[in-house]
Chains A and B, each alone.
Chain A
């Protein structure tokens, strides 16, 4: 696999951002392991509970988040080209699709809560609400960060320090996307 062509050899974002994101990945890894350990104890009940989740909404949410992440990556490329106007549009597109993810998630939560949770599926949905809920909070924080980034993109201020700040925010948002890929696989597909 070839490395992305960024045109420069500088490292994107500050080291602190890479450290923070890595820490978050480790925490979610513990979540994934915990879920699969409990699942192995009552696999049939988990598979049955999983059927009441909407794969269509989950898939649509996944595509929305992947597309949001892609637009943000393109936005960062435009920032490097010092094209603030185009970059702002990409960042805004990313924000809109990230917001769509939240709408999809809220509709899923409402749908499930109003349908009720049976005794046999209680454990599955305890993990589902806690882990996707924590991810939901990450998405909200990410959207706030994206909003701040959009407000700060100005052509006359696109120095290396500002670029690093924008890249840091983008790396956080890509982490949100990355974590959802595993959550989607574990809760909806496996």
Chain B
């Protein structure tokens, strides 16, 4: 298995594992902090998809800024609305 395949596969395994963790965390629906945890896990998963699947780090600088900036903005706004 070459390096790029290994990294992509580790990212996929992490994505599957964190999906199951967030489903487990959502069991306690009434606790606001757990919603924040679920949102943070979702943002982390999106970061992994952007980084290892979409290969945003290989894109032009403008797009790297736009994509990572978008994710940071979405996380901030959705966290604010959930709080």
Q: Which residue of B lies closest to A7 (CB)?
A: B4
The answer to whether A6 touches B58, judged by C-beta atoms less than 8 angstroms apart, is yes
Q: Which of B38, B41, B51 contacts A4 (CB 8 A)?
A: B51
Interface size class of B (residues with CB under 8 A): 35 or more
Q: Which of B2, B23, B55, B81 has the most CB of A within 10 A?
A: B55
- Least CB distance, A91 to chain B, in whole angstroms: 14
The answer to whether B49 touches A2, judged by C-beta atoms less than 8 angstroms apart, is no
- Grouping DSSP codes into helix (H, G, I), strand (E, B) and loop, the A interface class, with mixed when no group exceeds half, is helix
- Grouping DSSP codes into helix (H, G, I), strand (E, B) and loop, the B interface class, with mixed when no group exceeds half, is helix
The answer to whether B26 touches A188, judged by C-beta atoms less than 8 angstroms apart, is yes
Q: Which residue of B lies closest to A171 (CB)?
A: B54
- Least CB distance, A24 to chain B, in whole angstroms: 11
Known: A22-B67, A67-B12, A181-B42. A4 touches B58 (CB 8 A): yes
The answer to whether B12 touches A59, judged by C-beta atoms less than 8 angstroms apart, is no
The answer to whether B59 touches A18, judged by C-beta atoms less than 8 angstroms apart, is yes
- Least CB distance, B28 to chain A, in whole angstroms: 11
Residues of chain B having any CB pair with chain A under 8 Å = 2-5, 7-9, 11-12, 15-16, 19-20, 22-23, 25-26, 29-30, 35, 38-39, 41-42, 45-46, 49-55, 57-60, 63, 66-67, 70, 73-74, 77-78, 81-82
Q: 8 Å CB contacts to B: which residues of A76-134?
A: 77
Q: Which residue of B lies closest to A72 (CB)?
A: B53
A162-188 interface bits toward B, Cβ cutoff 8 Å, 1 = contact, 0 = none: 000000001100110110011011001
Residues of chain A having any CB pair with chain B under 8 Å = 1-7, 9-13, 15, 18, 22, 25-26, 29, 32-33, 36-37, 40, 47, 50, 55, 59, 62-63, 66-67, 69-70, 72-74, 77, 170-171, 174-175, 177-178, 181-182, 184-185, 188-190
> In the complex the two chains form, what is the Cα distance from A5 to B1 in whole Å?
13
Apart from A69-B53, A185-B42: 11 A-B pairs, beta carbons within 8 A: A3-B51, A3-B58, A4-B8, A32-B78, A36-B82, A59-B20, A63-B19, A66-B19, A185-B22, A190-B35, A190-B82
The answer to whether B51 touches A1, judged by C-beta atoms less than 8 angstroms apart, is yes
The answer to whether B59 touches A74, judged by C-beta atoms less than 8 angstroms apart, is no
Q: Shortest 5 CB-CB distances between A and B: which pairs?
A: A70-B12, A189-B26, A185-B42, A36-B81, A3-B57
